[in-house]
Amino acid sequence: MKRLFFYILILGGIIGGWSNKMNGEKILTVNRFIKSGEQGILKLDLSTMDSTLIFKVGKDSHVVNISLSPNDTLIAAIVGSGTTTQKKLVILNMMGKVKRDINRDVRVYTWSPDGNKIAFITGTYHEDGRPFIPTGVYIIDIISGKEEEIKGSPDPRRITWAKFDGNIYIERFCSYREKERIFRYNFSTKTVESTEYKGLGFSPDGKYYSHYDVEMFPSPPYRLYRTSDNKEITSQLLNTIGEDINYLGKFPPGWLKNTDHLLLCTKKEYELGEKVGIFAIIKGVRSVTNWIYDPEKNRVIKQFNGEVKWVGKDRILAVEREGKITFEEIPQE
């Protein structure tokens, strides 16, 4: 029990970057590990609670944005050093051995749906509002190491390799009022073309997509759209759940893997500690409410409490309640 508690302390900390793997009988996760200033990647088998520190960096360095490949064979992470603003993308096997080390100030990446390639944006950090000035967009084949540059992408900010059509979508850094925001890389013509889309958070089946941007205040930071006609349906979501937009700014809903288009919406209430004026330090989480929402049927198909730590394969959610992890099935749409 003590051991379990230790793991949950690791998992329940402020560090994010969750991903998961369900491999036959095993449920593996990779997560950021921080202890005494050292950082690395921790692999954890949740069926046995066996953990292995598979990758470690020095005290001056950090590991962020950790993810597993969709085919569950590789791990990607962004590694930076406290002494420089330069960051690199490392790709590891499941034992933590470095397979690719892309040391070109990589900030943003996305896996191909088959897990064999990664598209990434390189850029230079500077502290003027936006986090980096992009310098290029590339695709790398993990096995061969062959690289391809995506040319003609205007001011790339975010990138996603969509599962539903296999295309790469790139969001441009622009005022939200500007119409040309999302671009698609056409693999056959090797060109970047503009789209009518307003965001790139596509559902697995591509029928819906979201856009998230906190700077849209007082408009909702999270917006949900129907892909076929680009109609915004955020108010439909909010009305059905019965919540206001505020919590969507704190915890933007995410698509559940291995479903067509189910959204997981989460709301947390905090325990507050030290307080100064109207501001307080968050001491802990008092309650977590979740809704699984189907935009097609416009209904909540499941509402439950507890912290959802990751989303597994085979329509399974892992939920933490009072220090225990339980596995719950996602209902059929």
Partner 1 sequence: MNIQKMVKRISVSYLILIMIGCSSDYKPEEPPADANPYWDTDGDGISNAVEINPANAHHGFDTTQVDANPSKAKGQPNSGSLEGGINLPDEGEGYYHYIGRDPVDRDDWGTLALINMIEGGGRWWQDLGHYSPRIGIGDMSLKEGGPFTNYYDPTELDHESHQNGLDVDVRYVRKDNLESPLNIKDNAENYDTSRTVIMLSCLWTSSIEDTLCSPIVWIAISSHAVLEIDTTDTLPPGVEWPTIWRDTTTEHDDHIHIRIKDPDGTGN
133 lies in the binding site for partner 1 (CB under 8 A)? yes
Q: Which is nearer to partner 1, 1 or 14 (CB)?
A: 14
From the list 215, 228, 322, 332, which residue makes contact with partner 1 (rule: CB under 8 A)?
215
DSSP code for 216: G
| Contact residue for partner 1 among 57, 70, 167, 216 (CB under 8 A) | 216
126 counts as binding partner 1 under rule CB under 8 A: yes
The only residue of 131, 145, 166, 323 in contact with partner 1, by rule CB under 8 A: 131
What gap in Å lies between CA 163 and CA 214, rounded to an integer? Answer: 26
Beta carbon nearer to partner 1, 25 or 274: 274
The continuous run of DSSP H or E covering 156 comes out as: strand 156-161
Q: Is 279 in the site for partner 1 (CB under 8 A)?
A: yes
CA dist 96 and 98 (Å) reads 6
Question: Under the criterion CB under 8 A, does residue 281 sit at the interface with partner 1?
Answer: yes
Structure tokens at 173: 């850094």
- Is 208 in a helix, a strand, or coil? strand
Q: Say how far apart CA 56 and CA 132 lie, in whole Å.
A: 26
DSSP label at 49? T
Tell me how far CA of residue 20 lies from CA of 36, 62, 240, in angstroms. Answer: 25, 21, 30
Determine the Cα–Cα distance for residues 211 and 268; give it in Å rounded to an integer.
21
Query: Structure tokens of 154?
Result: 């205007």
Instruction: Establish if 158 lies at the interface with partner 1 (CB under 8 A).
Output: yes
The answer to whether 147 and 134 are in contact (CB under 8 A) is: no
Confirm or reject binding of residue 270 to partner 1 (CB under 8 A): yes
164 binds partner 1 (CB under 8 A): no
Q: Which CB sits closer to partner 1, 58 or 82?
A: 82
The region of 144-152, 225-233, 256-264, 276-284 touching partner 1 under the rule CB under 8 A is: 276-284
Contacts of 193 (CB under 8 A, 6+ apart): 183, 184, 186
* Cis omega (within 30 of 0) for bond into 218: yes
Please name the residues in contact with 43: beta carbons below 8 A apart, sequence gap of 6 or more: 28, 29, 30, 51, 52, 53, 54, 94, 96
By C-beta, is 221 or 306 nearer to partner 1?
Answer: 221
57 contacts partner 1 (rule: CB under 8 A):
no
Q: Does 282 bind partner 1 (CB under 8 A)?
A: yes
Q: Is 34 in the site for partner 1 (CB under 8 A)?
A: yes
Q: Based on the shown chain and the rule CB under 8 A, indicate whether residue 14 belongs to the binding site for partner 1.
A: yes
User: Residue 169's closest CA among 100, 125, 108?
Assistant: 108
Q: Is 64 in the site for partner 1 (CB under 8 A)?
A: yes
**Binds partner 1 (CB under 8 A): choice among 45, 115, 136, 173:** 173
Q: Is 80 in the site for partner 1 (CB under 8 A)?
A: yes
Q: Does 166 bind partner 1 (CB under 8 A)?
A: no
Q: Which of 228, 242, 276, 322 binds partner 1 (CB under 8 A)?
A: 276
Region near partner 1 per CB under 8 A, out of 13-21, 145-153, 188-196, 303-311: 13-21
Is 250 among the residues that bind partner 1 (CB under 8 A)? yes
SS3 94: coil
What are the residues binding partner 1 (CB under 8 A)?
14-16, 34, 37, 62, 64, 80, 82, 107, 126-131, 133, 155, 158, 173-177, 212-218, 221, 246, 249-252, 270, 272, 274-282
